[in-house]
Amino acid sequence: MRHLFVDSEYCSMGRWIILATTKKLNMHYYDDSALLELIDKTEKIGEVNRLTEDLKKTSKSYQAVRKTDDFQTVRSIFDEAIKKALLIGPSIVHERGNPQASSSKKNYFSVLIYNSSLEAKIPRTAYDEKYQGKEFSREQQHTLLKQEDQARKLYKNACFNQEVWGKKETYDLCLNTAYLTKEQCVEILVTLLTEKRVEKEEFAQIVVNKFGVVGD
Q: Mean pLDDT across the stretch 7-25? A: 94
In a domain, 27, yes or no: yes
- Asked whether residue 99 carries a pLDDT value surpassing 90, the answer given is no
Per-residue pLDDT band for 66 (boundaries 50, 70, 90) equals very high
Domain span holding position 9: 3-211
With a cut of 80, say whether residue 45 has pLDDT above it: yes
Give the pLDDT confidence of 131-149 residue by residue, as tens digits: 888 888 989 999 999 999 9
State the chain's maximal CA–CA distance in angstroms.
66
Work out how many domains the chain is built from and give that number.
1
pLDDT: which is higher, 123 or 6: 6
Is residue 115 one of the residues assigned to a domain? yes
In a domain, 157, yes or no: yes
What are the b/e assignments for 61-100, b being 16+ CB within 10 Å? ebeebbeeeebeebbebbbebbeebbeeebbbbbbbbbbe
Cβ-count burial 202-212 (b if 16+ within 10 Å, e if not):
eeeeeeeeeee
Query: Looking at residue 70, which CATH number applies to its domain?
Result: 3.40.50.300
80 is a domain residue: yes
Domain assignment of residue 216, yes or no? no
Whether residue 170 lies inside any domain: the answer is yes
Q: Which pTM was predicted?
A: 0.88
Q: What is the pLDDT of residues 153-206, one digit of tens each?
A: 999 999 999 999 999 999 999 999 999 999 999 999 999 999 666 677 877 787
